Amino acid sequence: MSIEPTTLPVRSGEDVVKVRQAVRTLAMDLGFSLVDQTKVITAASELARNTLTYGGGGEVRIERLNQGPKRSGVRLTFEDRGPGIANIELALTDGYTTGTGLGLGLNGARKLSHEFDIWSQPGVGTRVTITRWK
């Protein structure tokens, strides 16, 4: 069950900052510890940057998850209509990059999340979903 999903654009560097702020607000609201807040916004930042740099921009859906009183979390879905990823396994390797980063973006976001899901088709786009529980 999830309530109040928000969708934000990811089209500029300033959008990336806004995404981080929105994710932090939600994580704080759910009572995440400071370290957990930092982990989820860092993951959000990595993925937002990927959407911008490799996907040519897109959007993110931010969801609050509530599964019973003890289990709450944040789910983020980044989607773009960019060139897609031909070899997902390779893209998930630390240090691999086609751009200018350190190549830690995708795998870094995976390490900082409890659930990670990626869908991509060359020429169609990419969708990455991560979940971090409290």
Partner 1 sequence: MNRLASRLPAIVEQHQREILAEWVRLQLESGNWRAGRLQESQLRDESQKFIGLLAGTLQNTVQFDARNAQWAELREFLSELSRSRATQGFSPSQVATFVFSLKQPIFGRLRLALAKEPEALADAMWEINTLLDALGLYTTEVYQQAREAVISRQQEELIELSTPVVELWPGILALPLIGTLDSERTQVVMETLLQRLVATGSSIAVIDITGVPTVDTLVAQHLLKTVSAAQLMGADCIISGIRPQIAQTIVHLGIDLSAVATKASLSDAFALALKRRGLAVTSSTAAARG
Partner 2 sequence: MDRVPILRLGDCLLVTVQVDMHDELAMSLQDDLTNKIVATKARGVLIDISALEMVDSFIGRMLGNIASMSRILDAQTVVVGMQPAVAITLVELGLSLPGIRTALNVDAGLALLRRALDRGDEGGYVD
Closest to partner 2 by CB, 72 or 107: 107
Binding segment (CB under 8 A) for partner 1, from list 14-22, 29-37, 83-91, 115-123: 29-37
Using CA atoms, how far apart are residues 130 and 78, in angstroms rounded to an integer? 9
Write down how long the chain is: 134
74 three-state secondary structure: strand
Residue 123 gets which letter from DSSP?
T
CB of 47 to partner 1, least distance (A): 22
Residue 69 binds partner 1 (CB under 8 A) = no
- The site partner of 132 among partner 1, partner 2, none (C-beta below 5 to 8 Å per kind) is none
Q: In whole angstroms, what is the distance from residue 42 CA to residue 65 CA? A: 19
Least spacing, CB of residue 62 vs partner 2, in Å: 16
Q: How far is CA 70 from the centre of its chain?
A: 23
| Shortest spacing between CB 33 and partner 1, in angstroms | 8
Question: Which backbone phi and psi does 6 adopt, to 5 degrees?
Answer: -120, 145
35 belongs to the binding site for partner 1 (CB under 8 A): yes
Structure tokens belonging to residue 82: 């960019």
Q: Which residues bind partner 2 (CB under 8 A)?
A: 12-14, 16-17, 20-21, 24, 34-35, 37-39, 41-42, 45-46, 49, 94, 100-105, 107-108, 111-112
